Amino acid sequence: MMDWTDRHCRFFHRLITQRTLLYTEMVTTGALLHGDVPRHLDFDEAEHPVALQLGGSEPEDLARCARLAEQWGYDEVNLNCGCPSERVQRGAFGACLMREADLVAQCVAAMREATRLPVTVKHRIGVDRTESYAFVRDFIGTVAERGGCEVFIVHARNAWLQGLSPKENREIPPLRYELVHRLKQDFPSLTIALNGGIKREAQIAEQLAAVDGVMVGREAYHNPWSMAGWDQAFLGASGPAATTREAVEEAMVAYMERQQAAHGTPWPRIARHMLGLWNGTPGARRWRQVWSDHRLKALPPREVWATANRRTAPTV
């Protein structure tokens, strides 16, 4: 979810679901240790609970970044062992790490030593054409026993490191939910969450009968209103977090105004994350056109909001 689940996206999602655990986009250790830390780690208090997802393979560097996660107020720190992009492969982390379970265990142990936050691992069920259940079972067993990790988020596809783009890696390797279910059976004391291909609330409920949690990524991004009932359905809330889409949009307009006043953030940088809010409703296409029309970027967000909700052609 790099370049997707930034702080503005997470604020938007938090308006729709108040109890779901949100994850940052993956941040590399190099970006934190040698770059602009506030740019990568600053977030709104409304985003809690929120986890910082890290990319890296050096235990000492990951430990330093785990300490930063605690200092900046995150609720969890997650090590990404599932991303298959070429950039990640060049850095020898992401899905490559599944072939080095001992190293991942060292990384997790170093992170746990450095912070009081929960340290979790997100990974795939296999690498390339290796489809042996023993591979992912032994990976989890090693990282749990030697690293002390207790929570694993399992993307139920292999990561093909050669021949497929990151997009194709989310679609072509087959989903094998049964392997994730088997992991939960073999490691009953661990928290096992399932990721990959989940789109509907009924699917979430079905998977929660076999595992401890479900992670939803791109579907939540493209159809954010699908999250509106999650707090009530799965997380013990007495009612939905968001009352109406209109209320969410109004809150986002106020947020854009605050970000513009405090940091000079252009509203299109924020509005791009909410373009799926009205999906499936009359006038949604025109609404998206208005909020994504960069000819209007000089206008205040409230004027764009008024134009969008007239469902008329944008004017300059």
Share of the chain above pLDDT 70, in %: 92
Do 183 and 35 share a structural domain? yes
Do 89 and 194 share a structural domain? yes
Q: Which of 9, 65, 81, 83 is flagged as catalytic?
A: 83
Q: Which residue has the higher pLDDT, 265 or 313?
A: 265
What is the span of the domain harbouring residue 288? 245-310
Domain assignment present for residue 216? The answer is: yes
Domain assignment present for residue 2? The answer is: no
CATH number of the structural domain spanning residue 192: 3.20.20.70
In this prediction, residues 197-225 reach a mean pLDDT of 96
What's residue 1's pLDDT? 64
Do 271 and 201 share a structural domain? no
Give the distance from CA 54 to its chain's centroid: 11
Do 194 and 89 share a structural domain? yes
Do 259 and 110 share a structural domain? no
Please list, in sequence order, all residues whose beta carbon lies within 8 angstroms of the beta carbon of residue 154, skipping any fewer than 6 positions away: 122, 123, 124, 125, 136, 180, 183, 192, 193, 194, 195
96 is catalytic: no
Share of the chain above pLDDT 90, in %: 82
What's residue 85's pLDDT? 64
Model confidence band, residue 197 (pLDDT cutoffs 50, 70, 90): very high
Q: Does the pLDDT value for residue 231 go beyond 60?
A: yes
In this prediction, residues 225-238 reach a mean pLDDT of 93
Do 224 and 306 share a structural domain? no
Model confidence band, residue 4 (pLDDT cutoffs 50, 70, 90): confident
Nearest-CA neighbor of 250 among 277, 276, 269? 277
Q: Does the pLDDT value for residue 171 go beyond 90?
A: no
Per the structure, the count of domains in the chain is 2
What's residue 168's pLDDT? 77
Domain assignment present for residue 316? The answer is: no
Do 46 and 187 share a structural domain? yes
CATH number of the structural domain spanning residue 250: 1.20.120
CA 132, CA 265: separation in Å to the nearest integer? 48
Do 268 and 192 share a structural domain? no
Q: Does the pLDDT value for residue 220 go beyond 70?
A: yes
CA 54, CA 78: separation in Å to the nearest integer? 6
At 272-299, the pLDDT tens digits run: 999 999 999 999 999 999 999 999 999 9
Domain assignment present for residue 239? The answer is: no
CB atoms within 10 A of CB 26: 24
Do 272 and 219 share a structural domain? no
Domain assignment present for residue 217? The answer is: yes
Do 152 and 60 share a structural domain? yes
Do 182 and 306 share a structural domain? no
Question: b/e string for 62-78 if b means 16 or more Cβ within 10 A?
Answer: bbbbbbbbeeeebbbbb
